[in-house]
Homo-oligomer: A and B are copies of this chain.
Amino acid sequence: MLELADYASLLQNALKKNEFNVFGCRCSIIYSGRAESYLPPGDRIVIIKSDNSLLVHQPEGNNPVNYMKPGSSHYISFDDGKYFLRSQNLIHREYMDIEIHEIYFFESKHLEDGQKIILTGTEKDMAKMLFDNPSLIESGFKPLSMEEQTAFGFIDLFGYDKENTLTVIECKRYAADFKAVEQLKRYVERIKQSKGLTFVRGILAAPKISPNAEDLLHQEGFSFVSVKPPKYLERYDAKQKTLDGF
């Protein structure tokens, strides 16, 4: 079993090599930057990535309890018989001191990964699906553009309905709330002003809508269409049977 001093030495050397480092320890943490925090002593793991980002995770929960952004710098210091991992990010003016009371394990390894995640079922995918299948909105709907940075703002989808009325569609992949309605309203207002029109239709497309949002939606004269975000891989998986057995 290694002593804290041995681990500290290992860590100090590893930090020079810009590899992936992870260690389990008992520690307490002070952070000062955009906000300030103190975390009393307890067991956590600390990760220092090759881009010099730092994460501290408690034994439970999805999110890091403390962290530093990529581009930070880290060093070990020994003051008054205590070990500290001190981190700073000068660009963001953020500082962190981890007082390390004990180290349980330490791993350092060069990790190679240039891959990016492929994600489907996003709001953008919803807009594309509606662009390609406009009857999901309503029969006779003619899409003009999607996900476009227009002069009036970033609009998910817009086009003409079967009465040739200009229509703005705002997509939400989750249950639409009244903020989504306000967003739609903002776009409709901007387009009316920009094009000098007295009426522009607004449609909110989402899996469902909250009661408050629906009230506001109807007050504004807009309408709701129930649409779920598309999941292309689901069909793929059904063929490949890789997610069977659950």
Partner-B contacts on A (CB < 8 A): 20, 22, 24, 30, 32, 34-45, 47, 49-51, 53, 55, 57-62, 65-67, 69-70, 86, 88, 95, 97, 104-105, 107, 109, 111-115, 117-122, 173, 182, 229, 231-234, 237, 242-243, 245-246
Whole-angstrom distance between the alpha carbons of A122 and B95 in the complex? Answer: 17
User: Which chain B residue has the least Cβ–Cβ distance from A59?
Assistant: B111
User: Which chain B residue has the least Cβ–Cβ distance from A108?
Assistant: B105
Whole-angstrom distance between the alpha carbons of A67 and B120 in the complex? Answer: 16
Decide: A115 and B39 in contact? CB cutoff 8 A. Answer: yes
13 examples of A-B residue contacts, CB within 8 angstroms: A20-B59, A30-B242, A32-B231, A32-B234, A34-B121, A36-B121, A39-B115, A40-B118, A43-B111, A43-B112, A60-B113, A62-B70, A97-B243
User: Which chain B residue has the least Cβ–Cβ distance from A58?
Assistant: B113
Once A30-B233, A36-B121 are accepted as A-B contacts, the answer to whether A24 and B109 lie under 8 Å apart by CB is: yes
Shortest 8 CB-CB contacts between residues of A and residues of B: A42-B113, A35-B121, A43-B111, A36-B233, A59-B111, A51-B60, A42-B115, A40-B115
Interface centre among A34, A50, A57, A245 (most CB of B within 10 A): A57
Distance from A99 Cβ to chain B, minimum over Cβ atoms (Å): 9
Residues of B within 8 A of A50 (CB): 59-60
Pick from B42, B67, B97, B237: contact of A30, CB under 8 Å? B237
Distance from A101 Cβ to chain B, minimum over Cβ atoms (Å): 12
Decide: A122 and B61 in contact? CB cutoff 8 A. Answer: no
Whole-angstrom distance between the alpha carbons of A65 and B111 in the complex? Answer: 15
Whole-angstrom distance between the alpha carbons of A243 and B233 in the complex? Answer: 49
Decide: B37 and A119 in contact? CB cutoff 8 A. Answer: yes
Decide: B24 and A107 in contact? CB cutoff 8 A. Answer: yes
Residues of B within 8 A of A112 (CB): 42-43, 59
User: Which chain B residue has the least Cβ–Cβ distance from A231?
Assistant: B36
Once A49-B59, A109-B104 are accepted as A-B contacts, the answer to whether A88 and B246 lie under 8 Å apart by CB is: yes
Distance from A164 Cβ to chain B, minimum over Cβ atoms (Å): 31
Decide: A32 and B237 in contact? CB cutoff 8 A. Answer: yes
Decide: B30 and A243 in contact? CB cutoff 8 A. Answer: yes
